[in-house]
Structure 1
Amino acid sequence: MATARPRPQVMRLTDAAAERIKELMAKSERPIAGLRVGVRNGGCAGMAYTMEYAEAANPTDEIVEDKGVRILIDPKAVLFLLGTEMDYKVDKLSAQFVFNNPNQTSACGCGESVQLTPAQGEGAEAAAH
């Protein structure tokens, strides 16, 4: 009898990203169930990452718990985000969340949008089920 393989974790957070998300959620005036992360069509490279507070999880959301933070991922974005590490970078001129995504094939010059291809292979098959 075959045993089910554990599903791969779609995304993971660096310590810096987890701490920043916790700080932002603590300042919210309403209860937050998690941070919804996804992708949308747009920008000069074709796609852009999206982030928003979620008051509740949707029944079809992929839920990732990492470092004390709950990330809710739209099911249409799972294959585009599989294997992604979300980081938070601070430098002299900016502070921003950064997505280190193995599915990213290029980005626009301004950094606002990216070109993504769906994940392929064994991990992608497990995540899609």
Structure 2
Amino acid sequence: MSTESVQGGGNDPAIEVTPEAAEEALSLLEGEELDTDEAGLRLFVQQGGCAGLSYGMRFDTEPEPDDLVVEHHGLRVFVDPASRNYIGGSKLDYESGLQAAGFHVENPNVVSECGCGESFRT
């Protein structure tokens, strides 16, 4: 069952979260003993990498007043105003496999990525 609510977003395109990503993030949040009703995953963009920008993620106990707050499958995702311009409309997924496992952002705003896939340019 997919639930979505958006707060503070205005006309910004929301962030989508797959069930796999929500399940993994919620498990990690609970492992950190954070209240999943208030805490969430902060998704942001920072300067860095060979293409200029890179994604960052961390857990926060609550959103900042001007954050976009999106909830999918019980996971709250917080996005600051500066990052919204770069990642609005993106999808957060979790992939696991023999070679690697981790969160992956599918971003429709990206015009190029570096060879290793760790940074991007819009």
**Fold match (TM-score > 0.5):** yes
TM-score, scaled to structure 2: 0.84
Which residue pairs with 2:20 in the alignment?
16
1:109-120 matches, cutoff 5 A:
109-116=115-122
Q: Is the 8 A contact 1:38 1:73 kept in 2?
A: yes
User: Which residue does the alignment assign to 2:30?
Assistant: 26
Task: State the partner residue of 2:61.
Answer: 55
Report the Cα distance in structure 2 between the residues aligned to 1:29 and 1:100, rounded to whole angstroms: 28
Q: Which deviations, in whole Å up to 9, do the C-alpha atoms of 1:3-49 show, x marking residues without a partner?
A: xxx74552011111111111111100444611111100100011000
What's the counterpart of residue 121 of structure 1? none
- Within-5 A mapping of 1:27-106: 27-31=31-35, 33-106=39-112
Paired amino acid for 2:119: S
Q: Distance in 2 between matches of 1:48 and 1:9?
A: 19
Deviations 1:77-108 (A, max 9, x none): 11211110110011211001111110011111
Structure 2 gaps of 5+ residues are 1-9
User: What RMSD, in angstroms, separates the aligned Cα atoms of the two structures?
Assistant: 1.6
Could you say what secondary structure the match of 1:43 adopts? coil
The answer on whether the counterparts of 1:9 and 1:64 sit within 8 Å (CA) in structure 2 is no
Aligned identity (percent) is 37
Distance 2:67 2:21 in 1: 20
- Count of residue correspondences: 111
Instruction: Name the aligned partner's letter for residue 27 of structure 2.
Output: E
Runs of 4+ in 1 over 3 A off after TM superposition: 6-9, 29-32
Q: Which runs of 5+ in 1 are unaligned?
A: 1-5, 117-129
CA distance in structure 2 between the aligned counterparts of 1:93 and 1:79, rounded to whole angstroms: 32
Q: CA–CA distance in 2 between the matches of 1:30 and 1:14?
A: 21
